[in-house]
Amino acid sequence: MKKLKNEKELVKKAITIGVAYCEKRGAVQFEETDSAHEKIEYIYRMLVHDKLIQPLPEVEVSQQSMRHKLALWASKQKL
């Protein structure tokens, strides 16, 4: 897994877009006290469920790999 040049910014963008997507879908209501780790995992699982991203093999699922997957997803989103 090659790290993206601006992965940190893309992860922030992915969290912003992902939170809006999940809340608009009516699946969850995030709170201010929710950690970034919780949001990343929930957004990743929701996008996999909705077949918007390819799932990682279950043995490879980690916080870092989910962050990378979301960064790739965010890089393809148009705002």
Assigned superfamily of 7-75: Uncharacterised protein PF16691 family (1.20.120.1930)
Residues 42-57: tens digit of each pLDDT: 999 999 999 999 999 9
> So where are the chain's domains?
7-75
CB-based contact 19:47 (threshold 8 Å)? no
CB-based contact 41:67 (threshold 8 Å)? no
pTM for the full predicted model:
0.89
CB-based contact 71:11 (threshold 8 Å)? yes
Radius of gyration of the chain (CA): 12
Residues 18-76: tens digit of each pLDDT: 999 999 988 888 888 999 999 999 999 999 999 999 999 989 999 999 999 999 999 99
